Amino acid sequence: EGEEDRMFLLTQNGVVKRMSYEDIFYKSQNHLIIPLSEDDRVVTAFADDHPSVLAVYTKKGDLLMFDRSQVRVTGDKAKGVEAIDLDEGDKVRGGFLINSEEYVLTITEKGYTKLVRKEEFYTKEGKLKKRGQKGLMAVKLSKDDALSVSTSVNFGDTLLLSTEKGRILKLKIDEGKIPVAKRTAMGEQLIKIEGDKVIKATKPKTGNSQ
């Protein structure tokens, strides 16, 4: 099915689009790949991966997980579809795919960090929610804080965190070091960097990655 040759684009207003690399890269370099409304912008793009679940998270700490097959592959003229039903004033911060990972990591702008079992984002019947629904609370935010970064992890993973001011921090997902907590918990302030904040988490590719 050529799943590897596809990409997801996510915008801050909650639009998701799935495209083939061909439509992104092989046409003229300057063509537009997603028509955006005035106040919208693309916040992230990542490669498709089969089989996996798509997660979209917001500044105010909501997260929605749904099956990636709910987003059809469309051409460059298509607007994309609604990924998440945003609350007033909220914006999408990013998204990621979940494959064999057991946990969702959340890091807030103030450095509050925790792991949540991915099942906490399923419905009461233990099923995935649907695209375009409201997200579930992924983290309790203190005043003036916001969810900055979220991604899927297993114990033993190492992440590279990039900050707004260009620092790179290494975060090892060790049991006992990062609290496993409920969706509605705040987590612990493990990352303290005055006047700076974590804005991205990447998993370096290793030979034995799942």
pLDDT at 204: 83
User: Cβ distance 162 to 191 under 8 Å?
Assistant: no
Burial of 124 (0-12, 13-18, 19+ CB in 10 A): exposed
- From first to last of the 210 residues of the chain, give the pLDDT tens digit: 566 689 999 999 999 999 998 888 876 667 788 999 999 999 999 999 888 999 999 999 999 999 999 999 999 899 999 999 999 999 999 999 999 999 999 999 999 999 999 999 999 999 999 999 999 999 999 999 999 999 999 999 999 999 999 999 999 999 889 999 999 999 999 999 999 999 999 988 764 444
Residue 39's contacts (CB-CB under 8 Å, 6 or more residues apart) are 13
Q: How many of the other CB atoms lie within 10 Å of CB of 136?
A: 18
**pTM listed for this prediction:** 0.93
Burial of 11 (0-12, 13-18, 19+ CB in 10 A): buried
> Whole-angstrom Cα distance, residue 56 to residue 134?
11
Write the DSSP symbol of residue 25. Answer: H
User: Domains in the chain, ordered, with CATH?
Assistant: 3-202 (2.120.10.90)
Q: How many of the other CB atoms lie within 10 Å of CB of 199?
A: 16
